[in-house]
């Protein structure tokens, strides 16, 4: 077996064996982009169950792109819908490569993973299921080179609302 495949298997096993070590994680999920072509009208929806309405949280956007991605940045449209129907819409820019073309994400081979803070110190005012929708906001119909989009919600180190 090649060394890179062996490392990938070991990394996968570690993810399965130690999922409980991340005490701050409230939610984490990924949606695969079919064929690594993200259509303009395709929305990745994440359902985040919330029970704690006092704790502050940090929200992260996770992107997996391959090195054939033709741009240095990625614009996203993000909507957070509360269980009571209220929603907030936002535009968010991620920098995937520096001005010299070096990818900012981690990884080896053709795939890079970037985790970027979207919002800090967020609290969810209503308990229930929050729907977080993420849509690509680039000016192309089919955005090539994005293989997965992810969302992570984790507890902030602050103890709660003041």
CB 107 within 8 A of CB 62: no
pTM: 0.83
pLDDT at position 108 is: 87
Angle at the Cα of 116 from the Cα atoms of 48 and 98, rounded to 5 degrees: 155
Residue 18: band (very low, low, confident or very high) from pLDDT cuts 50, 70, 90: low
Q: pLDDT digit string (tens) for 25-60?
A: 999 999 999 999 999 999 999 999 999 999 999 999
Instruction: Please give the average per-residue pLDDT across 61-87, as a whole number.
Output: 97
Q: What is the pLDDT of residue 87?
A: 97
State yes or no: pLDDT of 3 exceeds 90. Answer: no
Per-residue pLDDT of 108-160, as tens digits, reads 899 999 999 999 999 999 999 999 999 999 999 999 999 999 999 999 976 55
* Region 11-20 average pLDDT: 56
Report the distance separating Cα 133 and Cα 91, nearest Å.
12
Q: Please compute the mean of the pLDDT values over residues 5-11 and round it to a whole number.
A: 62
* pLDDT confidence of residue 21: 64
Q: For residue 7, is pLDDT > 90?
A: no
Q: Return the SS3 of 37.
A: strand
Residue 11 has pLDDT above 80, yes or no: no
**Where does the chain show beta strands of DSSP type E?**
25-32, 37-39, 43-50, 57-66, 73-81, 87-95, 111-122, 128-136, 142-144, 146-155
| Token pair of 109 as six digits | 């081979």
Residue/partner pairs of 80-88 with CB below 8 Å, 24 or more apart? 80/130, 80/131, 80/132, 81/130, 81/131, 81/132, 81/133, 82/124, 82/125, 82/126, 82/128, 82/130, 83/50, 83/126, 83/127, 83/128, 83/129, 83/130, 84/126, 84/128
Over residues 83-106, the mean pLDDT reads: 96
């Amino acid at each position: 077996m090649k060394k890179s495949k062996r490392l990938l298997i070991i990394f996968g096993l570690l993810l399965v064996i130690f999922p409980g070590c991340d005490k701050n994680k409230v939610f984490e999920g990924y949606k695969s982009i079919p064929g690594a072509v993200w259509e303009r009208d395709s929305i990745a929806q994440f359902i985040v169950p919330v029970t704690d309405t006092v704790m502050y949280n940090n929200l992260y956007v996770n992107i997996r792109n391959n090195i054939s991605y033709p741009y240095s940045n990625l614009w996203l449209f993000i909507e957070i819908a509360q269980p009571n129907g209220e929603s907030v819409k936002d535009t968010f820019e991620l920098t995937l490569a520096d001005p010299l073309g070096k990818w900012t994400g981690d990884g080896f081979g053709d795939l890079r993973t970037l985790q970027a803070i979207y919002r800090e110190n967020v609290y969810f005012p209503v308990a229930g299921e929050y729907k977080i929708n993420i849509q690509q906001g680039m000016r192309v119909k089919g955005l090539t080179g994005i293989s997965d989009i992810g969302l992570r919600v984790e507890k902030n180190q602050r103890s709660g609302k003041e």
